[in-house]
Amino acid sequence: MKTNEFSYKGICLNGFLALLLVIVLFAAIIYLFIMADTNSVFAVFGGIGMLLFALCMNGFIKLEPNEARVLVFFGKYSGTFTRTGFYWVNPLLNKKGVSLRARNLNPEPIKVNDKAGNPVMIGMVLVWKLADTYKALFEIDSQSLAAPVSNATGRSSARMLSQAFENFVRVQSDAALRQVAGCYAYDNADSADELTLRSNAEVINEQLVTTLNERLSMAGIHVIEARINYLAYAPEIAAVMLRRQQADAIIAAREKIVDGAVSMVKMALDKLKSEGVVDLDEERKAAMVSNLLVVLCGDEPAQPVVNSGSLY
């Protein structure tokens, strides 16, 4: 993927060395103001030194791991500074701090219509981070997305940018979740091969990550992981769908019981015939099959009845 981001290659000094030089400059300024009583020229140089001192103090940068500063020189992008530690750079550069650390987003579940048109409640959790600082600051209007803060300092400005990225991710993740959820049914009893939201979570999660990265790549944001963490029918149809699921479960259980009962009856008849225990005609076989199926498939325990007479 094409990117305009590059590392800063301009003026860069060790921060402690630069701090020592600034202290020396400050001491020289004090000396000039002391000597101003003897010659007014020293006062002029002292004033110039104060301006230079204030300018130099604006050049210090302190970075922790997985932090970056985007450097802008009078509106022109000058590179991204990512070296951890204490440094001094061109004080005329505007420094915008951003975090490259992974962050979580766990929005509230939303109501969407699945492929079958049924309203469902679905939620997700995702892990994301900034991958391209140039796109993050210059491809989207991050300033207007953040809540305005008067007299913003460097740290509050960084918090504003972080909030802007979170707002952008929140909106795009909502749209991506609606798009993916609308392509699949909640469940499907008619076809076991069709992908569903309930039964194919891993496949759905992979498609969700792909869709999110397509939507967020324009902002330089990379989604590391996205997973559906909440899935349920909407309250207005939950009771009806619960009864349908219960009916499906009962039917499946009945089918298994009947299959087992038929195999047991067949085994009993075959064993009676092979061992010559009793010779049954077709009518007696039918009666035996009927009685065994009633006993094996019934919900209540069977009550035996002894027949002392003949079947005829």
How open is the CA angle 33-37-22, to the nearest 5 degrees? 10
Q: Looking at domain 103-233, which CATH architecture does it have?
A: 2-Layer Sandwich (3.30)
269 has pLDDT over 50: yes
Q: Where are the alpha helices (DSSP H) in 86-200?
A: 133-138, 142-145, 154-181
What pLDDT is stored for residue 300 in this prediction?
A: 67
Give phi and psi for 294, each to the nearest 5: -65, -45
**Which tokens is 66 given?**
């997985």
More confident residue, 187 or 171: 171
Query: Cα–Cα distance between 26 and 31 in angstroms, integer?
Result: 9
CB atoms within 10 A of CB 25: 14
Helices 282-297 and 235-274: crossing angle, nearest 10°? 140
Per the DSSP assignment, residues forming a β-bridge with 7 are 80
Residue with tokens 């087992």: 260
Q: Residue range 229-242: average pLDDT?
A: 82
- CB neighbour class for 110 (10 Å; exposed up to 12, middle 13-18, buried from 19): middle
Q: Residue range 104-132: average pLDDT?
A: 92
Where does the chain hold its CATH 3.30.479.30 domain(s)?
103-233
H-helix or E-strand containing 245?
helix 235-274
CB atoms within 10 A of CB 120: 24
149 has pLDDT over 50: no
What pLDDT is stored for residue 31 in this prediction?
A: 86
**Which tokens is 286 given?**
């039918």
Query: Cα–Cα distance between 176 and 213 in angstroms, integer?
Result: 10
Question: Quick one: pLDDT band at residue 307, thresholds 50, 70, 90?
Answer: low
Query: Cα–Cα distance between 128 and 102 in angstroms, integer?
Result: 5
